[in-house]
Structure 1
Amino acid sequence: MAQLFRLDLLAPALLAVQSRLRHGFVVLALTLAALAGAALTPAVAGPVIVADIDSGRVLYAKQATDPWYPASVTKLMTAYLTLHALRAGQLRPDAPLTVSARAAAVIPSKMGFKPGVEVTVDNALKMMLVKSANDMAVVLAEGVGGSVENFAGMMNQAAEELGMGQSHFVNPNGLPDPGNRTSARDLAVLARTMLRQFPEYAQYFNIEALQMGKRVYKNTNGLVGRYPGVTGMKTGFICASGFNVVATAQRGGRRLLVVVLGAHSGVERTLIAASLFDRGFADSGWGGPGTLDTLPLPTSASPPDMRDAICGAGRGARGEEEAENAPQSASPLFALFKGGASDWETPVAGRTLPPRAALAAVPVFVGRYPGAPATAVAARRGQAQKGETASAYAADEDASPGAKALQKVKRPVARKNASASKQAEARQKPGKAEAGKKANDKKAHDKKAPAKNAAGKNRKTSDNDG
């Protein structure tokens, strides 16, 4: 009885402990769920838009006309103008472009080629869109527009013609500049226009990986190789903008595009885009706020600066290169808190993506063709004069008559200048006896010169005839 009495006295205490444990677990679970909800809904991202590519109908939009820093999605406009130049015959896919000192000096992400290296238009486009190479964007801008400044003017003219009212571009790669801006709606207009105007070039936007020698560069778009039906297009990141993506996908007979701006990580960017695609393909396509042309005016006049939230203290080093090529594996929180929410505002709850499938790498190279010298002739031989570019001498390696003529003109000039330099150096040496000896030698040489020159002239004529 004594033992039973003691257990009876302990029972209320045990029940109280159990209750507290249960309460603590519930509080912990609710706290984690709240944190997960705050971290995983599109509210943490900035503007988003989902649109039908063929009809232009907007299925969902949030702050889609508000200005935003574009980051590397700027390269879609660079690609747009390059494709125009290809179609117009101003450039050929195999045309060589030379990496300038300006292109080589840009910050990563980039290929890192030295000035004077030649890259074809086709390879530069692939490197820019897959690797997000900032240097290749400059190479294309200089190849199409002559200079970065001229090309920026072309970008802004194109934006105006396309009705991209919130867009302005200062450079071809989206590297930080307060003059760069765009909106989710404008990017959707640009993406839709490119796919409809240039269907023959659509493959540029869905390359899974590039291979140069033994090195493989995976597409910075985390949907590629993960989301069924994805067809492109481009990611972007700078601290001020957060993580951006313009993405396209096809399912059955429908083609959709999604724009996500201002996500807090590459993972979040990818999962929000995937969830918006899920919701878009499940939608009948007849709802939404209208078309790309009828969205409401922006609610702010200038882009927000997300630097502190994205790259502030305690968030680790987040440079442009690291961000563009960060692993895209899903966060465990996405797998833990699964839900069936179908509301556009919370499409990410419970969304996960599988690991990337094996990516098919497309070979790329430097030079005019595989195995060709990578460096322009002037850069290799050191012949470029002040104010000239290496591309001015690129024809030296051609077998054309013009190239051979260029070789005959340029090289003798270099030798003549070298000879003159040696003579000037010799004249500067002191010594009266030596000077007198040179004067006597010159007189003797002048007497023999006519016969020698005539013999040389006859020899040259004979060689050309033979």
Structure 2
Amino acid sequence: MLTHAPLARLFGGLLGLGGLLAAGAAAAVTQPMLVVDVDSGKVLYGQAATDPWFPASITKLMTAYVALDLVRQGRASMDQLLTISPEAAAEPPSKMGFRPGTQITLDNALKIIMVKSANDVAWAIGENLGGSVDGFAGLMNETAQRLGMRDSRWTNPNGLPDPRQWTSARDMAILGRAILRDFPGNRDLFSISAIQFGRSVMPNHNGLLGRYAGVDGMKTGFICSGGFNVVASATRNGRRIITVVMGQPSARERDLKAADLFDYGFGQSAGWGGQTLADLPASPVAAPPDLRPYICDKRRPMPTDSDSAAATASAEAAQGNADNTSAQLMAASAPPSAALAFATMNSAALRNRALPPRAPLQPVLVWIGRDPAESAIAANDDGAEAKPVAAKPVRAARTKVATRPAAPAKPAPSRSIAATGATVPQPKLLARQTGKPPAAATAYTASHTPVIAGAGTKTKAQTKPTETKASDAKATPKPKVAAAKPAAKKTKDD
């Protein structure tokens, strides 16, 4: 049995990434890892499984469970509208950038937090379903206790840094099993490869989806204080396994370790013997470690919890060099029996190792309002943060003034003027109105009649029936048409 075998010393591994940590700073902090058979609850592999850890955005799994539980109880519905408050809109990224007052269905909100991991939307779920974020945090804690998550403390629904909020690998495995067991009709929510909002397509942050055969959920998370975390589920030959990996220095290393743990777990017996999640002993550690100085070195670019498949080949190779050094240092501290699950991590081949390319995305449409036809939606040019905008009113076209010279004298038949329903009067009537001969009056009036895009628009613009010079065209003022302003007040995005 490999339970609680100390495979890795996190700070020792980070020496390969930063290269500047003193040996004294490399404290014995073990990265939590856990592999569990979903049906039996049997622990297939574990280390530091009950140690407290900052959850980051895997918190949103608890947010989703509480929301789905409220729907099951009839206290909420998937099509009810949630309103984005100023407080929700002010949450830092990752976010959708919705303006205060924007409304979105709970169904779309859950899809967004599972794929985009939007902090503003998760905050709105908490406010709307719990009456306040504190009220929703109370529901999270009550639910955790009922499920047997004895190591968890929740204060917010999105996982942004809070020294009072932590969980454990064991508790997240319990939560993952509860989601799959209690809401089988909502399992697809945790395996969406991408969402489409307006013109923006946003892939799931889970780098295992579409890259490791059988992976069908669940959620990733990253903050500097907790490193890169993931709760993932995979199915092979009808057997489902949940893997939890926490505290990794990069998304790539997190994904590779999770894949190795899946390989190891599927190779183990699915029997009912052995240790279960309920059997795991309490941790002697009183509070989670703060990894900020090691994960987010100010001299290096800020790490991101993005799909590692988007990395270029050169970046992948460069990261591989660092990860290989990290793996060697970690494996050196592990006993031989524990190294089975990570045999490939202690290898020079790691620098060229990567998961397969991601399968084509299958985006799921999300929108604001109750129905996609209710609002016009726009996205940023980079597609990173999509923004909703109010439906634009139809603008009247700028008034065009004819400047052609007078035509030879011909009887002018009646002809329509665009969009107005008016007609050019006949020659005799024009002669009485203008005091000119019939033919000249017809040509003069036709050259001075504006073409208008919308009925009811008035203009006094007139020009002589002669060739227009470029200098005159620049000097001629253009009529202004005021567009109706959207009702929603603009809010600066973070």
TM-score bin (small chain): 0.5 to 0.7
User: Deviation string for 1:409-465 (max 9, x for gaps)?
Assistant: xxxxxxxxxxxxxxxxxxxxxxxxxxxxxxxxxxxxxxxxxxxxxxxxxxxxxxxxx
Are the aligned partners of 2:14 and 2:249 in contact in 1 as well (CA < 8 Å)? no
Could you tell me which of 26, 31, 41 is aligned with 1:56?
41
- Identical aligned residues as a percent: 50
Within a 5 Å distance, the mapping from 1:36-435 to structure 2 comes to: 46-286=31-271, 290-318=275-303, 322-324=304-306, 329=311, 331-333=319-321, 343-344=340-341, 346=343, 348-349=345-346, 350=350, 352-373=354-375
Are the aligned partners of 1:44 and 1:264 in contact in 2 as well (CA < 8 Å)? no
Alpha-carbon separation, structure 1, partners of 2:213 and 2:235: 8
CA 1:37/1:251 → structure 2, altered by over 3 Å: closer, same or farther? farther
Alpha-carbon separation, structure 1, partners of 2:355 and 2:41: 28
Are the aligned partners of 1:249 and 1:257 in contact in 2 as well (CA < 8 Å)? yes
* 1:151 Cα deviation after fit: 0.3
Any stretches of 5+ residues in structure 2 without a counterpart? 1-11, 18-27, 332-337, 378-388, 391-494
Any stretches of 5+ residues in structure 1 without a counterpart? 1-33, 381-466
Aligned partner of 2:113: which letter? M
Alpha-carbon separation, structure 1, partners of 2:230 and 2:119: 16
Alpha-carbon separation, structure 2, partners of 1:335 and 1:245: 21
Are the aligned partners of 1:209 and 1:360 in contact in 2 as well (CA < 8 Å)? yes
Aligned partner of 1:280: which letter? G
Are the aligned partners of 1:209 and 1:218 in contact in 2 as well (CA < 8 Å)? yes
Q: CA RMSD in A?
A: 3.0
CA 1:195/1:328 → structure 2, altered by over 3 Å: closer, same or farther? farther
Alpha-carbon separation, structure 1, partners of 2:111 and 2:35: 26
* 1:180 Cα deviation after fit: 0.5
User: Deviation string for 1:300-347 (max 9, x for gaps)?
Assistant: 0100000011002333224xxx334565655544799999x9613546
Alpha-carbon separation, structure 1, partners of 2:252 and 2:46: 21
Alpha-carbon separation, structure 2, partners of 1:54 and 1:328: 34
Alpha-carbon separation, structure 1, partners of 2:15 and 2:105: 47
Are the aligned partners of 1:63 and 1:299 in contact in 2 as well (CA < 8 Å)? no
CA 1:244/1:164 → structure 2, altered by over 3 Å: closer, same or farther? same
Alpha-carbon separation, structure 1, partners of 2:292 and 2:15: 23
CA 1:144/1:246 → structure 2, altered by over 3 Å: closer, same or farther? same
* 1:286 Cα deviation after fit: 4.2
CA 1:169/1:87 → structure 2, altered by over 3 Å: closer, same or farther? same
Alpha-carbon separation, structure 2, partners of 1:249 and 1:194: 14
Aligned partner of 1:97: which letter? L
Are the aligned partners of 1:237 and 1:324 in contact in 2 as well (CA < 8 Å)? no
Aligned partner of 1:343: which letter? L
Are the aligned partners of 2:309 and 2:358 in contact in 1 as well (CA < 8 Å)? no
* 1:46 Cα deviation after fit: 1.1
Between the two proteins, the alignment pairs up a number of residues equal to 339
Aligned partner of 1:299: which letter? P
Higher helix share: 1
Alpha-carbon separation, structure 2, partners of 1:220 and 1:80: 19
